[in-house]
């Protein structure tokens, strides 16, 4: 069984859109958003996947969501059928933290690739969870977003040395760091040096859920990326649709 997030109560968050971030930005894709996360970023824009009533982990909005309205379970076969009803040949599995459900995802992706052998599968992860072996061999791309100090997570939980070292050696892995202030850049540089992250696989992205904020931060962040040899990514879906579910 898989545990998914919802767009509306009882409606799983499976949808077609343009990938908004990272190396695949602008590509038509099918998205499936899973529920549950092992971290708690204070600026998380999908807190409805983990901050349920009774969860007091810090978040800037301080909103608690009702689990029954924001989470549902379904079989791997049913999830695959929903995905295959969309015409795109690229799937983005996001969350939450998808790799917490690695075994079930492996079964779902196997069904997808049986139906469409050329299906391209991306997984968005915070980089702290090991990939289930059965899933690992089926994934084409990992979008790895380690959480910096400004996320509010304890570094011992958010930056796992063994995992980061493995991701840095995997050519399928693209790193994406969320940046709120110039002070975050030194932390990124230190991680790049420590783990040998290739600069052409390192993206920096402004934090924000409004176009005005993203544009303001993009002005200086783009210059920093140019100077440091990093890649820059915007948040296309925010500019197109706003901070809304199912986009």
- Which pLDDT does position 240 carry in this prediction? 93
All structural domains of the chain, each given as residue ranges with its CATH number in brackets, are 2-178 (3.20.20.70)
- Which pLDDT does position 194 carry in this prediction? 98
- Backbone φ and ψ for 4, nearest 5 degrees, come out as -110, 155
- Cβ neighbors of 8 (< 8 A, separation 6 or more) are none
Phi-psi region of 41 (alpha: psi -120 to 50; beta: other; left: phi over 0): beta
- What tens digit of pLDDT does each residue of 113-138 get? 999 999 999 999 999 999 999 999 99
Q: Stretch 129-156: mean pLDDT, rounded?
A: 98
- Which pLDDT does position 16 carry in this prediction? 98
- Which pLDDT does position 73 carry in this prediction? 98
Confidence grade of residue 64 (pLDDT, cut at 50, 70, 90):
very high
Q: Stretch 193-205: mean pLDDT, rounded?
A: 98
CA distance 137 to 112: 14
Q: Stretch 180-204: mean pLDDT, rounded?
A: 98
What is the helix (H) or strand (E) element at residue 194, kind and residue range? helix 184-195
Asked whether residue 56 carries a pLDDT value surpassing 90, the answer given is: no
- What tens digit of pLDDT does each residue of 10-46 get? 999 999 999 999 999 999 999 999 999 999 999 999 9
pTM of structure? 0.96
- What tens digit of pLDDT does each residue of 65-93 get? 999 999 999 999 999 999 999 999 999 99
Residue 34 DSSP class: B
What is the share, in percent, of the chain residues with pLDDT greater than 90? 99
- Cβ neighbors of 154 (< 8 A, separation 6 or more) are none
């Amino acid at each position: 069984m898989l545990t998914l997030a919802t767009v509306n109560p009882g409606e799983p968050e499976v949808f077609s859109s343009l990938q908004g971030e990272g190396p695949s930005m602008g590509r038509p894709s099918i998205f499936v958003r899973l529920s549950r996360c092992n971290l708690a970023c204070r600026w998380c824009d999908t807190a409805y996947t983990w901050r349920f009533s009774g969860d007091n982990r810090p978040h800037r909005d301080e909103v608690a969501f009702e689990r029954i309205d924001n989470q549902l379970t379904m079989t791997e076969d049913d999830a695959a059928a929903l995905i295959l009803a969309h015409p795109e040949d690229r799937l983005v599995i996001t969350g939450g933290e998808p790799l917490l459900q690695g075994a079930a995802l492996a079964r779902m992706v196997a069904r997808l690739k049986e139906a469409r052998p050329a299906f391209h599968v991306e997984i968005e992860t915070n980089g702290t969870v090991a990939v289930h072996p059965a899933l690992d061999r089926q994934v084409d791309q990992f979008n790895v977003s380690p959480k910096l100090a400004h996320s509010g997570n304890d570094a011992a939980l958010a930056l796992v040395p063994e995992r980061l070292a493995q991701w840095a050696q995997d050519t399928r892995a693209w790193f994406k760091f969320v940046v709120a202030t110039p002070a975050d850049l030194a932390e990124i540089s230190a991680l790049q040096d420590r783990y040998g992250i290739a600069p052409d696989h390192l993206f920096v992205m402004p934090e924000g859920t409004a176009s005005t904020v993203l544009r303001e931060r993009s002005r200086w962040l783009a210059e920093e990326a140019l100077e440091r040899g990093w890649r820059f990514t915007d948040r296309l879906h925010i500019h197109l649709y706003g901070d809304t579910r199912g986009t």
